Amino acid sequence: LSQQQTAKLVLLGEMGSGKSSLVLRYVKGQFFDYQASTVGAAFLTKTIPELSVKFEIWDTAGQERYHSLAPMYYRGAAAAIIVYDITSTDSFNRAKAWVRELQRQGSPNMIMALAGNKADLESARAVTVEEATAYATENGLFFMETSAKTAANVNELFSEIARKLPKA
């Protein structure tokens, strides 16, 4: 009987990139076309019994006025998901800025995942898979395109993080 491990996980990324939608899809299996913008941060938990991992998830607010709060949420985190919207170059640039901040100020062993969300909006794509993959490889992140709307790759994203956690 293996010991259950608790892991703090934080989501960061531009306002509207779909952080709350990814968490809601993952934890509750829900999606809303009109998802309210997060105020401060939201806290949810989810256990993966097969992997003996309990995630304590901090879904942060992307609005710039909350930026100064972010260190409270990523400090001590075992993992971070940096989210951008594949239809927005600005959101990809914002994701890169978050990666730089975490590389400078985050825990040295933090697992970092880059999620290109809204993959269902292929016809409006602005960030190619190739450029995101190249960026992720250069920076030692693992990368997946996801859709909170269709649920594509959402469970896979969180499970992959759970598998990468150092064994308790």
- Contacts with ligand GTP by CB under 6 A lie at 13, 15-21, 32-35, 37-38, 61-63, 117-118, 120-121, 147-149
Site for Mg ion contains 20 (CB under 5 A): yes
Question: Does 38 help bind Mg ion (rule: CB under 5 A)?
Answer: yes
* Residue 4 interacting entry, from Mg ion, ligand GTP, none, C-beta within 5 to 8 Å by type: none
Q: Shortest CA distance to 116 belongs to which of 94, 138, 140, 101?
A: 94
Distance of CA 147 to the CA centre of its chain: 12
Characterize the bridge pairing of strands 41-48 and 53-60.
antiparallel
- Measured from the CB atom, the residue of 4 and 118 that comes closer to ligand GTP is 118
Which CB atom, from 17 or from 87, has the smaller least distance to Mg ion? Answer: 17
* Eight-state DSSP code of residue 121: -
Q: Which residues contact 130 (CB under 8 A, 6 or more apart)?
A: none
Q: Which is nearer to Mg ion, 25 or 53 (CB)?
A: 25
15 makes contact, choosing from Mg ion, ligand GTP, none, with CB < 5 to 8 Å by partner type, with ligand GTP
Structural tokens at position 98: 């978050």
Output the six-digit token pair for 105.
Answer: 């100020």
By CB under 5 A, name the binding residues for Mg ion. Answer: 19-20, 38
